[in-house]
Amino acid sequence: MSEKKLAGKVALVTGGARGLGRGYALRLAGLGADIAIIDRNLQAAEVYELERELSTAPTVVAECEALGVRAIGIEADLTDRAATDRAAADVVARLGRLDIAVCNAGGGVVTFADERTPDPGANETVDVVTTGTPSNCSEEMLSRVLDINIRTCMYTCMAVTPHMKKQGGGKIVNVSSTAGLDARGGYHPYGTAKAAIIHYTRALAQELGPDNINVNAIAPGVIITGRLGDRPHMINDIPLRRQGTIEDCAKVVEFLVTDLSDYVTGRTIAIDGGLLR
Ligand SMILES: NC(=O)c1ccc[n+]([C@@H]2O[C@H](COP(=O)([O-])OP(=O)(O)OC[C@H]3O[C@@H](n4cnc5c(N)ncnc54)[C@H](O)[C@@H]3O)[C@@H](O)[C@H]2O)c1
């Protein structure tokens, strides 16, 4: 990854403090982009052992800086529209421009680990994730999961658009999931939220095409992160016979934010080893 094809560009990665978002930030920093990370908790990587093991510095911002680019971290809850607008403006004020937005914040999380009182008996405090069904889902779960997936994505897109228009173009990558493409999975209401992101991506691409802003989405499948862990029991369902890695997803993000995808917009790329049939 020696070619600095994103030198001079500024990339915003939401939810970049751990997991897949961290991987996107490092990949784009490696390509020479200056990085802005917006996360509700810039220390989120501390929650999971895998994330702690992967970290090479106290924060992802420091990891990006070690790759020789400028990097900033902004702590904000992206379910708050005004806070999201302020954060995007802050990125432009501090880094000078905004070319790329990877709207990755989200997940099937009902309660984040740092919002809970740690269980003294447990080895690790973890996020509480969705367990609803299409016909039975608590109000708390419904609001939280729609908020952290749909609102964060839409608010971020709306916040970055004016800056990108002013500059004459940009690249937006929204993060959906195979759960948004396939109704067989057991993740509700997460799958519904991720399906909405696919529709929103297509609609936004229609609107922003004339402004030279590409809007696409990725739909990761079974990817090993600290939050979701190792799921070897799923391998036999995956034609490529392995779980996905953070790098597998980061490579597709690279495609969608560089000139390799200049004539691609409104599309969703599944990164699932062939899982969806
Ligand atoms: N890991 C997978 O297998 C997988 C599969 C499909 C889709 N995805 C999607 O990829 C994205 C990243 O997943 P991950 O596994 O790395 O999850 P993760 O929980 O490790 O990372 C998500 C990050 O987003 C941040 N975040 C959440 N809500 C936020 C808010 N309101 N404001 C600001 N920041 C917020 C969290 O603090 C966290 O750092 C999510 O959108 C998830 O739905 C993951």
Q: Domain segments of the chain: what residues?
A: 10-106+152-182+198-271
Helices (H), the chain: 19-30, 49-54, 60-65, 81-95, 139-146, 152-167, 190-208, 246-257
Residue 30 one-letter amino acid: G
Q: How is residue 113 written in tokens?
A: 């680990």
User: What confidence tens digit (pLDDT) does each residue in 168-226 have?
Assistant: 999 999 999 999 999 987 789 999 999 999 999 999 999 999 999 999 999 999 999 98
State if residue 78 touches ligand 1 by the CB under 6 angstroms criterion: yes
175 CA from centroid of ligand 1 (Å): 9
User: What confidence tens digit (pLDDT) does each residue in 140-168 have?
Assistant: 999 999 999 999 999 999 999 999 999 99
266 CA from centroid of ligand 1 (Å): 22
State if residue 273 touches ligand 1 by the CB under 6 angstroms criterion: no
Residue 163 one-letter amino acid: H
Residues 6+ apart with CB under 8 A from 212: 168, 169, 170
pLDDT reading at 28 higher than 60: yes
- Strands 71-75, 34-39: pairing kind: parallel
Report the first-to-last Cα separation within the chain, whole angstroms: 32
Query: Closest Cα to atom 41, ligand 1: which residue?
Result: 106
Q: How far is CA 200 from CA 92, 135, 173, 212, 216, in A?
A: 24, 24, 12, 17, 10
Distance CA 183, CA 255 (A): 27
Other beta carbons within 10 Å of 82: 10
State if residue 44 touches ligand 1 by the CB under 6 angstroms criterion: yes
Given the residues 24, 48, 190, 200, the one annotated as active site: 190
**Side-by-side strand order, sheet with 10-14:** 71-75, 34-39, 10-14, 100-103, 170-175, 213-220, 268-271
Q: How is residue 164 written in tokens?
A: 């990108």
Q: How much is the pTM? A: 0.97
Residue 109 one-letter amino acid: V
DSSP β-bridge partners for residue 111: 128
Query: Closest Cα to atom 25, ligand 1: which residue?
Result: 15
Q: Which of 17-31, 66-80, 114-128, 242-256 has the lowest mean pLDDT?
A: 114-128
Q: What mean pLDDT is predicted for residues 230-239?
A: 93
State if residue 23 touches ligand 1 by the CB under 6 angstroms criterion: no
Annotation says 200 is catalytic: no
Kindly report the CATH number that applies to the domain delimited by 10-106+152-182+198-271: 3.40.50.720
Residue 163 is given by DSSP the state: H
Return the closest-CA partner of residue 141 out of 106, 179, 188.
188
Question: Angle CA(92)–CA(209)–CA(256) in degrees, nearest 5?
Answer: 70
Distance CA 56, CA 243 (A): 23
Give kind and range of the element (H or E) at residue 268. Answer: strand 268-271
